[in-house]
A and B are shown apart, each in its own frame.
Chain A
């Protein structure tokens, strides 16, 4: 017979405020197979866990129900405690009487009776639970980092420095990401390039890092510890082994009117180009669409001038296969384009630009060599309007979330502008200033007090062109007055969005993204750098908008997670997986497409479906797809559910 211990947590007043925890413990103590029941203020605390351990040892408990918060939070905690006391951890269940009871009710009597039912239901589950052992899996101690911005660079360097090989894949011709485009960084005004480029060089020189630029992840299969990755190395039409990076090809290339992606359309580049002079690797690629040779078959200047014969027009895309044990997703962000804002002229007003364009304008290596010149006529703007929350915090039209970095970079922009145009006047339209961070608030205050930046609290309703001016109509909600500014230049702090193709990538990786395309973390507080899919970690703005120090911190955190994963002899996989009773399986194969992890396959010889235990994440999709009952999930059997349902529906006087 089972001897089940029930431990009811007060969670301070979180549970005890709405549920009579004493009554729950009393009511359950007489329930079938319950050998022990008690309550405690904080069951997850050390003394709380000790109560559990003591009861297991003293009463020889065979199963535990901890009535507390969500299992996402503390299932592992109590499983470990049980294990320390010699009880199989899979005989431990959490009865969620917080999120699913106390937090959502206010009638104490009803909530208490519901809590008792929830606990009884979980007692039924424990009765049906089998003791299980973890599944052991070999691990390939090599990591893949997708994205070569600051997050990817940091993650790659940290993992490589721990002694593990890393493959870094970047789809652009150079690593560096958006950070390479920035002029200075808040709140210290360090030169972005000065702090970034040494790291870029470190990456290229690191013996443990294999760098694939101008490459994309094509396909990922396998599972944590044993991923198989196919990487497409796009044809650059330049033999990167031969190329010395002298730059002569770019200099002589006659096709020069191609909009530069790196300069965000504010300058031109050649058809054979490196994105920027400090690129890593500093080797050019040919933009086939704009190359005269590829479009007309004539030209070939680059091939003629190349002294080492590195130009190869016949080059093809190349597929590389790699085995890795873990994958860091550091694919970064995009900026919502100016052309999408109706109220700001759909991008038709040349002197309305976005923040990244302004960064390029401020950058010493940018198209204006650091001078502030407006795009329409090259004049120095004397009145500049910065608009924060362009597209952010605007659930009706754009995105409901805060892009987080705009308050700070706008203050920086206004400051840098004042540093360059002493008699200029910057205005900032804002909703409110979010300057949480070390030295951030001081930085903004300095902009207001010392640099005399005019902050106007309100939204801009409309922008239009009047002669060579850009008329900005808005409202100062603090004064309750309409404001109209004849500006020379308008800079939009455009919303930070996920990469436009993040969903496609997510599908390839089988990792989840949220409704906006940002990669989803496994837990918002306790597992912020892990994806829900085992072996994937999230660094930087691919997960949510964030600034450089946060992105770097997160990248280092992923590196710590990856190295921890690589530190053991093997990985342990949860034994809560699907199993097949072959005698009941009729081979209908409905489970195969139901599996999102590719863990189900059909055995043609035996005519039954199988489960690849290591690939199985225990989601239960195949279990519910299986109409014959042949597929069952360990410790989540149909029989257990029936018992739980009937217990939940049982008439009782509680």
Chain B
């Protein structure tokens, strides 16, 4: 059988997804045995023109990681879509916006102002902002346009499969590779992970009627290692998060941060979790309710840590502007 043609790209991402390929350790050899890599900017020197030169549908599979944050990301997403038979949203950023999509809580103007004006280490007396295009004596030079909104990959191009996680665990990558190699592909639109939520694979004990009396942050409590973390007051995203990671964080006493995204058929993970929390927080009067709500620092950031591009309602308050 001919070797698979593989591409991997990073858009708005930290690089962790690319590194996660190495988490497969010696199993990497299996991947290399089955596939040739035609495009992987973090590892090898390719030029965009190499991709442009490919025939449409040349790549069998493209593992696309990172969110769509600027015009370059969008261009590459569209280009790689054209050149790939199967497009995989690889990792939380490509799947639901991830950490870059936290920017959806604010505006482009505020981000630029912070980065180019108000940080203490910035020295920019003329208040110059990066411009998509600048005329210079030598001619016009361009840089990608910085968008006002961070998108997930499927907002821009059709995506066949999603492998969630920040980054995706090596086991899931291998499952996907094996499926591709053997041709035993799940139906398009599938997410390569569990169907149920994390609570299903969580080893901790839950009580019959879970309630939350107080909300605490991880540094404020040493979990006892036995009881459900939510019931210990920690915001564990488990009930609203797809399983498949093997409860990796829980096993080291950290609450789930939600990087596997919403459960099957759910669109808005943050809203679901908020709704769940509101259902089990115990309070007798408004004062106590206020106190509990206020003890949750950065609620939107916590509940939408990875899902900023997935929120049904725009998390940002906009005035007369379309998201």
Q: Which residues of B contact A585 (CB under 8 A)?
A: 196
A588 to chain B, nearest CB (A): 4
In the assembly, what is the distance between CA of A624 and CA of B278, in Å?
9
B263 at the interface (CB under 8 A from A): yes
Using CB atoms and an 8 Å cutoff, list the residues of chain A in contact with chain B: 583-594, 602, 607, 621-622, 624-630, 638-639, 642, 645
**Are the C-beta atoms of A624 and B197 separated by less than 8 Å?**
no
The verdict on B93 contacting chain A, using a C-beta distance below 8 Å, is: no
Residue interface mask B274-305, A partner, CB < 8 A = 1: 01101110000000000000000000000000
Asked whether, in the complex, the Cβ of B197 is within 8 Å of the Cβ of A628, the reply is yes
B189: shortest Cβ distance to chain A, in Å? 15
Q: If A583-B195, A587-B200, A590-B276 touch, does A628 touch B266 (CB 8 Å cutoff)?
A: yes
User: Residue B312 at the A interface, CB < 8 A?
Assistant: yes
Shortest distance in angstroms between B129's beta carbon and chain A's nearest beta carbon? 32
| Chain B neighbourhood of A624, CB < 8 A | 275, 278-279
Q: How large is the interface on B (under 10, 10 to 19, 20 to 34, 35 or more residues)?
A: 20 to 34
Interface residues of B in 187-210 (CB under 8 A from A): 195-200, 206-210
Query: A588 contacts B264, CB within 8 Å?
Result: no
Contact at A592–B196, with CB atoms within 8 Å? Answer: no
Option from A589, A627, A628 in Cβ contact (under 8 Å) with B210: A589
Which residue on chain B has the smallest CB distance to residue A591? B279
> Contacting A588 at CB < 8 Å: which of B211, B239, B267?
B239
Are A625 and B280 closer than 8 Å at their CB atoms?
yes
B275–A638 touching, CB < 8 Å: no
Q: Which residues on A sit within 8 Å (CB–CB) of B239?
A: 586, 588, 590, 627-628
Say whether B265 faces chain A, with CB atoms less than 8 Å apart.
yes
Q: A593 to B206, Cβ gap below 8 A?
A: no
Contact call A590/B208, Cβ cutoff below 8 A: no
20 additional A-B pairs beyond A586-B196, A592-B208, beta carbons within 8 Å, are A584-B195, A584-B263, A586-B239, A587-B206, A588-B197, A588-B238, A589-B210, A590-B276, A590-B280, A592-B209, A592-B210, A593-B209, A594-B280, A607-B200, A629-B263, A629-B272, A638-B265, A639-B265, A642-B267, A642-B312
Shortest Cβ distance from residue B206 to the other chain A in the assembled complex, whole angstroms: 5
Chain B residues with Cβ below 8 Å from A621 are: 279
Given known contacts A588-B239, A590-B276, A624-B275, A629 and B208 CB-to-CB distance under 8 angstroms? no
What chain B residues lie within 8 Å of A628 (beta carbons)? 196-197, 199, 239-240, 263, 266, 272
C-alpha spacing A584/B269, complex, angstroms: 15
Per a CB cutoff under 8 Å, which of B200, B272, B279 touches A593? B279
Is the CB–CB distance between B275 and A627 below 8 Å?
yes
A124 to chain B, nearest CB (A): 15
Is there an interface contact between B263 and A627, defined as CB atoms closer than 8 Å?
yes
Q: Which residue of B lies closest to A646 (CB)?
A: B312
Query: Could you tell me the distance between the alpha carbons of A639 and B263 in the complex, rounded to whole angstroms?
Result: 14
5 contacts between A and B (CB under 8 A): A588-B210, A589-B206, A592-B209, A627-B273, A638-B265
A594 contacts which chain B residues (CB < 8 A)?
A: 279-280
Q: Which residue of A lies closest to B196 (CB)?
A: A586
CB distance from A605 to the nearest CB of B (A): 14
CB of B310 within 8 Å of the partner chain: no
Q: Is B243 an interface residue (CB 8 A)?
A: yes
Assembly CA distance A588 to B211 (angstroms): 12
Please give, as numbers and ranges, the residues of chain A lying within 8 Å of B200 by CB-CB distance: 586-587, 607
Contact A584 B265, beta carbon cutoff 8 Å:
yes
Contact in complex: A625, B279 (CB < 8 Å): yes
Across-interface contacts of A642 in B (CB, < 8 A)? 267, 312
Instruction: Determine the residue in chain B with the shortest Cβ distance to A632.
Output: B265
Which residues on the B side are within 8 Å of A638 (C-beta)?
265-267
Total A-B residue pairs with C-beta atoms closer than 8 Å?
A: 90
The 7 A-B residue pairs whose C-beta atoms are closest, nearest first, are A625-B279, A627-B240, A586-B200, A588-B199, A594-B279, A586-B199, A628-B197
- Contacting residues of chain B (236-281) with chain A, CB-CB under 8 angstroms: 238-240, 243, 262-267, 269, 272-273, 275-276, 278-280
Name the A residues within 8 Å of B211 (CB-CB): 593
Distance in angstroms between the alpha carbons of A255 and B279 in the assembled complex: 54
Q: How far apart are the CA atoms of A628 and B243 in the complex, in Å?
A: 10
Contact between B243 and A586 (Cβ–Cβ < 8 Å)?
A: yes
Q: How far is the CB of B243 from chain A (nearest CB, A)?
A: 7
Contact A589–B208 (Cβ < 8 Å): yes
Q: Say yes or no: B196 contacts A584, CB within 8 Å.
A: yes
Q: Which residue of A lies closest to B275 (CB)?
A: A624
Cα–Cα distance between A602 and B238 once the two chains are bound (Å): 18
**A587 and B203 alpha carbons, distance in the complex (Å):** 12
**Once the chains are docked, how many angstroms separate the CA of A584 from the CA of B243?**
11
- Distance in Å from the Cβ of B123 to the closest Cβ of chain A? 44
Which residues on the B side are within 8 Å of A590 (C-beta)? Answer: 210, 239, 276, 279-280
Residues of chain A with a CB closer than 8 A to B272's CB: 627-629
* Cα(A624)–Cα(B272), bound, Å: 7
The complex places the Cα of A584 from the Cα of B262 at a distance, in Å, of 12
Structural contact, B206 and A625, CB atoms closer than 8 A: no
B276 touches A586 (CB 8 A): no
The docked-state distance in angstroms from the alpha carbon of A613 to that of B312 is 31
Chain B residues within 8 Å of A587, by CB: 199-200, 206
| Least Cβ–Cβ distance between B239 and chain A, in angstroms | 4
**CB of B149, distance to nearest CB on chain A (Å):** 16
> Is A645 touching B263 in the complex (CB atoms < 8 A)?
no
Q: Which residues on the B side are within 8 Å of A588 (C-beta)?
A: 197, 199, 206, 210, 238-239
Collect the chain A residues with CB atoms within 8 Å of residue B276's CB: 590, 625-627
Q: How far does the alpha carbon of A607 sit from the alpha carbon of B196 in the complex, in Å? A: 12
Q: B264 is contacted by which of A592, A622, A629 (Cβ under 8 Å)?
A: A629
Bound Cα distance A232, B265 (Å): 49
Chain B residues whose C-beta falls within 8 Å of the C-beta of A627 in the assembled complex: 197, 239-240, 263, 266, 269, 272-273, 275-276
What residues of chain A lie closer than 8 Å to B263, measured between beta carbons?
584, 627-630
Which of A589, A622, A627, A630 has the most CB atoms of chain B within a 10 A radius of its CB? Answer: A627
| Complex Cα spacing A602 to B205, Å | 14
CB distance from B259 to the nearest CB of A (A): 15
CA distance A638 to B265 in the complex (A): 9
Q: How far is the CA of A398 from the CA of B318 in the complex (A)?
A: 44
Q: Are A584 and B264 in contact (CB under 8 A)?
A: yes
Shortest beta-carbon distance from A144 to chain B in Å:
27
Residues of A close to B243: CB separation below 8 A: 586
Instruction: Report how far A645 CA is from B197 CA in the complex, Å.
Output: 25
The interface residues of chain B lying within 8 Å CB-to-CB of A589 are: 206-210
How far is A639 from B312 in the complex, measured between Cα atoms in Å? 13
Residues of B with C-beta under 8 A to A622:
279
| Minimal Cβ-Cβ distance residue in A for B211 | A593
Q: How far is the CA of A622 from the CA of B239 in the complex (A)?
A: 13
* A607: B residues at CB distance < 8 A: 200
Q: In the complex the two chains form, what is the Cα distance from A591 to B199 in whole Å?
A: 13
Which residues of the other chain, A, contact B206 by a CB distance below 8 angstroms? 587-589
- Say how far B272's CB is from chain A's closest CB, in angstroms: 4
Q: Which residue of A lies closest to B266 (CB)?
A: A629
Of A584, A588, A628, A629, most B-chain CB atoms within 10 Å: A628
- Assembled-state Cα–Cα distance A593/B283 (Å): 13
- Shortest Cβ gap from B89 to chain A (Å): 20
Task: A607 to B239: give the CA distance in the assembly, Å.
Answer: 14
Q: Are B280 and A593 in contact (CB under 8 A)?
A: yes
Give the residue among A587, A629, A639 with the most B Cβ atoms within 10 A. A629
Given the interface contacts A584-B196, A627-B263, does A602 sit within 8 Å of B208 by beta carbon? yes
Shortest CB-to-CB span from A596 to chain B, Å, is 11
CB contacts (< 8 Å) of A625 on chain B: these are: 275-276, 279-280
Are B198 and A586 neighbours in the complex by a CB distance under 8 Å? yes
Residue numbers in B under 8 Å from A584 (CB-CB): 195-196, 263-265
Bound complex: CA A44 to CA B243 (Å): 50
Q: Give min CB distance, B279 to chain A, whole Å.
A: 3
- Bound form: Cα–Cα A639–B264 in Å: 12
A602 to B228, CA, bound (A): 16
CA distance A441 to B164 in the complex (A): 76
- A586 neighbours in B (Cβ, 8 Å): 196-200, 239, 243
Instruction: List the A side residues contacting B265 at CB < 8 Å.
Output: 584, 629, 638-639
